[in-house]
Amino acid sequence: MSPQTLVLVDADTGVLDNLYGLLNQEGRTIRSAVDGSEALQYARETPCDLVVAGQGRNGLGGIELLRRLRALRPETRVILTGEPGAERVLPAIRAHAYSYFHKPLSQGPLADMAQLALESEGWRGDLRVVSSVPEWISMEVRCKLEAAERATHYVRELAADLPRAVCEDVSAAFRELLLNAVEHGGGSDPRKRVRVSLVRTGRAWMACIRDPGKGFSIQRLPHAAISNPEDAPTRHTEFRAGHGQRPGGFGILMARKMVDELVYNERGNEVVLVKYAA
């Protein structure tokens, strides 16, 4: 494995120490900076694989730092950190940040996302914002598992103002259905994209996922647990193994338990999930 260079940026030295402890591994060189200008100087001196950037001391915010890094090192992945809220998450997506995490930072998910970013190839353009009105957000997701994981985390950030249990339910349900759309609707073909819309009203949180596939009948899904007969509750696992598919197949069944409504269109290539406010 080739050496990897990470740069951590935050005005709070305690945050920098925590990030260093979280991300330090064999084969990684980590440099810390308390302001964006120092981070840019590091980038001028040597290529860096990943930058994890919060607010620096000199007022250079994460988005502006990201834009300047793009000019210097367009191949560098950038994970932004900051306050929660769609008004901060949406600009991060538009600016092609690899991901965004609100503070206090979720250490396990952040470490996993950093690893995904460092292993990533050809990630630019995987997510495209179509509409960024906070009440109606739409984006196109390339049919890649990596892109689906990134989109799912962005959804988790956009739903972070919901009660924690509700946020986890809607983001988990969204992930399962998005993975279905990417794998089965899009055939994991990176030339294809899934269209995702997130709608917020005063009474409900809704997501619509439309895949580029020919659709399916929910009554005839041999690869999914939802179609198992009562006397053979694991039959779908045999089908998946025989067709070289990853273990799983519980997505639709799980999603139905996590949200209040789950509705497919007639063709079977578009699904709407709804979670009502308590």
Look at the chain and report how many structural domains it folds into. 2
The domain boundary residue, chosen from 108, 124, 140:
124
* Residues 182 and 258 placed together within one structural domain of the fold: yes
* Per-residue pLDDT band at 248 (split at 50, 70, 90): very low
* Residues 153 and 214 placed together within one structural domain of the fold: yes
* Residues 84 and 190 placed together within one structural domain of the fold: no
- The CATH number that applies at residue 202 is 3.30.565.10
The domain boundary residue, chosen from 94, 124, 154:
124
Q: What is the pLDDT, as a whole number, of residue 193?
A: 98
The residues facing 193 across adjacent strands are 142
Q: What is the pLDDT, as a whole number, of residue 123?
A: 93
Q: Is 259 left (phi over 0), alpha (psi -120 to 50) or beta?
A: beta
The pTM (predicted TM-score) of the whole model is 0.86
* Residues 265 and 254 placed together within one structural domain of the fold: yes
Mean pLDDT of 239-247: 56
The per-residue pLDDT for range 52-80, each reduced to its tens digit, is 999 877 667 788 999 999 999 999 999 99
* Residues 226 and 162 placed together within one structural domain of the fold: yes
The per-residue pLDDT for range 155-196, each reduced to its tens digit, is 999 999 999 999 999 999 999 999 999 999 999 999 999 999
* Residues 21 and 43 placed together within one structural domain of the fold: yes
Distance CA 178, CA 260 (A): 17
Burial of 219 (0-12, 13-18, 19+ CB in 10 A): exposed
* Residues 176 and 129 placed together within one structural domain of the fold: yes
**Angle CA(240)–CA(241)–CA(243) in degrees, nearest 5?**
65
What range does the domain containing 148 cover? Answer: 125-278
The domain boundary residue, chosen from 124, 149, 184:
124
* Residues 141 and 261 placed together within one structural domain of the fold: yes
Q: What is the pLDDT, as a whole number, of residue 56?
A: 78
Q: What is the pLDDT, as a whole number, of residue 215?
A: 86
DSSP 225: G
